[in-house]
């Protein structure tokens, strides 16, 4: 589950999940849902494998989302399905989506950057929570 919260000229993303794999997958979904309207309509015609190293979960989340933003900007890919495996040394993921098609994809926000401000990933009694603020 994810939700957005207001933060001055930025957008906050809050994610809750039962485990870290789901948390990181849901954070990716929230990022792309903020970028493109109707994320469910994105076809899964291309697959990208991503590996990110890191041992601190908050910085790993930052690097993960930054890598996804890079794929959006550099490869013009809108991704909508994420199979993530988080380990003690980083994460690997298989991401699926398609190239941006202006005729089908309405871009709602331009996410310029992932920020460190307010970044957190924490274990709670019933699962995990993450918060990240993106510069729009």
State how many domains the chain has: 1
| Interatomic CA distance for residues 120 and 64, integer angstroms | 14
Which residue matches tokens 């849901």?
Answer: 26
Asked if 23 and 128 count as a contact pair (C-beta separation under 8 A), the reply is yes
| Domain containing residue 122 | 2-135
CATH number, domain with residue 106 = 3.55.10.10
* Residue 6 confidence (pLDDT) above 90: no
Instruction: Give the CA radius of gyration of the chain.
Output: 14
| Interatomic CA distance for residues 80 and 115, integer angstroms | 22
3-state secondary structure of 103: coil
The tens digit of pLDDT for each residue in 22-53 reads 999 999 999 999 999 999 999 999 999 999 99
First to last CA, the chain: 21
| Interatomic CA distance for residues 9 and 20, integer angstroms | 29
Half-sphere exposure of 23 (CA within 13 A, CB side): 27
Kindly report the average pLDDT of the chain as a whole number.
94
Q: State the pTM of this model.
A: 0.92
Number of neighbours of residue 6 by Cβ within 10 angstroms = 8
Q: What is the mean pLDDT of residues 84-90?
A: 97
Spatial CA neighbour of 111 closest among 96, 97, 132 = 132
What is the pLDDT confidence band of residue 19, given thresholds at 50, 70 and 90? very high
């Amino acid at each position: 589950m994810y939700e957005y919260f207001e933060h001055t000229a930025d957008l906050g993303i809050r994610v809750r999940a039962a485990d870290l794999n789901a948390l990181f997958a849901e954070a990716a979904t929230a990022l792309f849902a903020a970028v493109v309207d109707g994320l469910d309509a994105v076809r899964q015609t291309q697959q990208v494998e991503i590996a990110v190293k890191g041992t601190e979960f908050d910085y790993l989340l930052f690097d993960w989302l930054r890598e996804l933003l890079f794929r959006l900007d550099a490869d013009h890919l809108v991704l909508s399905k994420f199979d993530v495996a988080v380990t003690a040394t980083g994460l690997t993921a298989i991401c699926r989506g398609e190239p941006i098609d202006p005729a089908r994809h309405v871009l709602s926000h331009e996410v310029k950057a992932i920020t460190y401000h307010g970044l957190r990933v924490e274990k709670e009694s019933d699962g995990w929570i993450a918060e990240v603020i993106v510069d729009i």
